[in-house]
Each structure stands twice: as C-alpha cells, then as structure tokens.
C-alpha cells in the first residue's frame, strides 16, 4: 500500500537569519525543500508527497518542485500554519484525502525540509521498520557530548551561571531526526488528540513521535544518519555544504 510523505517547509528560519524562509534558502544552487524532496523520491519508498509551504508561497514552492527533473512523485503543496505541529496537521489533512480508485495510504512519513540531506537509505530504513510492525519509528543518533541538567541561575548573579543538578546518563539518550514514520491511523489519532495545543508555540509538539508518546503508545528508534542533520543556523548551512561535497 502507498506511503505518503509530509514534507514540512513552512517555517520562517528566524535562527538562520536570512531574508527568505529557510526551505527556500539554496544549498549548492538548489532550495533546501528541493534537496529534501529529491531524496524522498530517490528512496523508492515514497509514493506521494505533500509539502507545507510558507504563507503566500504555495504557488512558488509548487513550481519549484514541478519543474525539478529529479522529483518524480506526485507532489501537492499546501500552505503551512503557525507551528510545525499545525503545519503537519494541515499536510496530513490534504495528503490523506482519498482519490477515487486510489489505494489508501497506510504509512505516513513526516520529514523536515530543514534536514535536506537525509539520505534515501535512511528514508527506506524508517519505512521498513514501520512495515515490519512498529507503528511509530524515529531515526536517532547516540548523544556524544556529556549532558548536564541545570537549574535556574541565581537572581542577580551577573554571570548568569546555572547550577548543575546532575550529569545525565547519555548511554540512554538519542538525538532524533526526521523522517519519522507512522502507521497512518496512529498518526491521525495522535494529531487529533493534540489539536488543542497545535497553535500555541509553547505547547505545540516539536516532533510527531512526541504526540504518540503523549497517547502512552510505543515509539521505536532506528539508527539515524549524520547527513540528516538539521539546518538551524548559518554554521549548519556551511556544514551541509561540506556534507554535500563529500557525497559527490
């Protein structure tokens, strides 16, 4: 049965600090959203894609993807919303409309254009784990830094130094990435039951697996890939350019 990918691209990219939405920023001459869509298609594991575009840029994003020679799956573009969670919900609504005679989607991936170099093999790994029976799957990497839990700095301390409460056991930590993969019915249920918190940045979930966890249902981690790193800052964009060069 078919796999739908919701590709989130509606964010503004505030932390990147350029004067256009992050998904439209170019890496080696191609917008990030196009890099991400190309790799979803190259995986061979994705049948259709719904992209969440920044406000007012739906047509522009649709044209970019329509004109790209490597993006060879049907792509639908919808306008995103104010938070990532609300954008994914909008993408899901559009992507799961049944087409007459079409086979219903059974697996949904949610992927960030902000992770433009997530390799096709990673996409396949996530889809395979869902098809093997894990209803919610996230790629994750071991954490390599020593992690401290801190408490609030003392009021009036000019250094703003935060007291350390403990060193967390990093062996049990994973830094999770996208694409995240789900059984369709589970992801729809998870978004529906968290819809009341979708529009408030402080309460919205930062990833979709978190919504499944909130239902008390299991989420499994498969090995991630350093190439799927998230572009948040200008430094990350430079690292991605190096990753792309190494890939060639």
Q: Which of residues 147-176 bind ligand LQXTBERG (CB under 6 A)?
A: 176
Which one of residues 4, 6, 22, 41 is an interface residue with ligand CTP (CB under 6 A)? 22
Place of tokens 């691209």: 9
**C-beta closer to ligand CTP: residue 118 or 135:** 118
Total residues binding ligand CTP (CB under 6 A)? 22
Determine, following the binding rule CB under 6 A, whether residue 35 of this chain makes contact with ligand LQXTBERG: no
Question: CB of 226 within 8 A of CB of 178?
Answer: no
Q: Which of residues 56-95 bind ligand LQXTBERG (CB under 6 A)?
A: 84
Quick one: CA dihedral 234, 239, 243, 245, positive or negative?
A: positive
Site map (CB under 6 A) of ligand CTP, residues 33-62, x = contact? -------------------x----------
Quick one: CA dihedral 143, 121, 13, 220, positive or negative?
A: negative
> Any idea what DSSP says for residue 229?
-
**C-beta closer to ligand CTP: residue 131 or 175:** 175
Which one of residues 52, 112, 227, 240 is an interface residue with ligand LQXTBERG (CB under 6 A)? 112
Question: CB of 8 within 8 A of CB of 80?
Answer: yes
Total residues binding ligand LQXTBERG (CB under 6 A)? 8
User: What's the Rg (C-alpha) of the chain?
Assistant: 18
**C-beta closer to ligand CTP: residue 123 or 134:** 123
Say which residues have a Cβ less than 8 Å from residue 82's Cβ, sequence separation at least 6: 199, 201
Question: CB of 129 within 8 A of CB of 137?
Answer: yes
Pairing of strands 136-142, 220-223: parallel
Site map (CB under 6 A) of ligand LQXTBERG, residues 185-224, x = contact? ---------------------xx-----------------
Which one of residues 35, 38, 39, 84 is an interface residue with ligand CTP (CB under 6 A)? 84
Omega before 179 within 30 of 0, i.e. cis:
yes
Residue numbers at the binding site for ligand CTP (CB under 6 A): 8-15, 22-23, 52, 80-84, 87, 112-114, 230, 232
């Amino acid at each position: 049965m078919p796999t739908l990918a919701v590709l989130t691209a509606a964010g503004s990219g505030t932390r990147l600090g350029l004067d256009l939405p992050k998904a439209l920023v170019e890496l080696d001459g191609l917008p990030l959203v196009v890099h991400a869509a190309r790799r979803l298609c190259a995986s061979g594991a994705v049948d259709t894609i719904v992209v969440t575009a920044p406000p007012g840029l739906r047509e522009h994003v649709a044209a970019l993807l329509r004109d790209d020679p490597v993006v060879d799956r049907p792509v639908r573009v919808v306008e995103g919303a104010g938070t990532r969670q609300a954008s994914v919900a909008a993408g899901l609504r559009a992507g799961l409309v049944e087409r007459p005679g079409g086979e219903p989607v059974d697996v949904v991936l949610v992927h960030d254009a902000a992770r433009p170099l997530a390799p096709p093999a990673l996409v396949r790994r996530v889809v395979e784990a869902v098809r093997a029976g894990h209803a919610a799957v996230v790629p994750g990497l071991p954490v390599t830094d020593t992690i401290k839990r801190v408490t609030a700095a003392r009021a009036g301390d000019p250094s703003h130094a935060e007291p350390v409460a403990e060193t967390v056991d990093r062996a049990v930590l994973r830094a999770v990435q996208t694409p995240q993969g789900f059984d369709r019915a589970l992801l729809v249920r998870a978004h529906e039951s968290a819809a009341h918190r979708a529009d408030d940045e402080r309460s919205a979930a930062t990833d979709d697996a978190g919504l499944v966890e909130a239902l008390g249902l299991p989420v499994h981690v498969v090995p991630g890939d350093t190439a799927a790193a998230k572009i948040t800052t200008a430094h990350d964009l430079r690292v991605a350019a190096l990753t792309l060069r190494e890939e060639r």
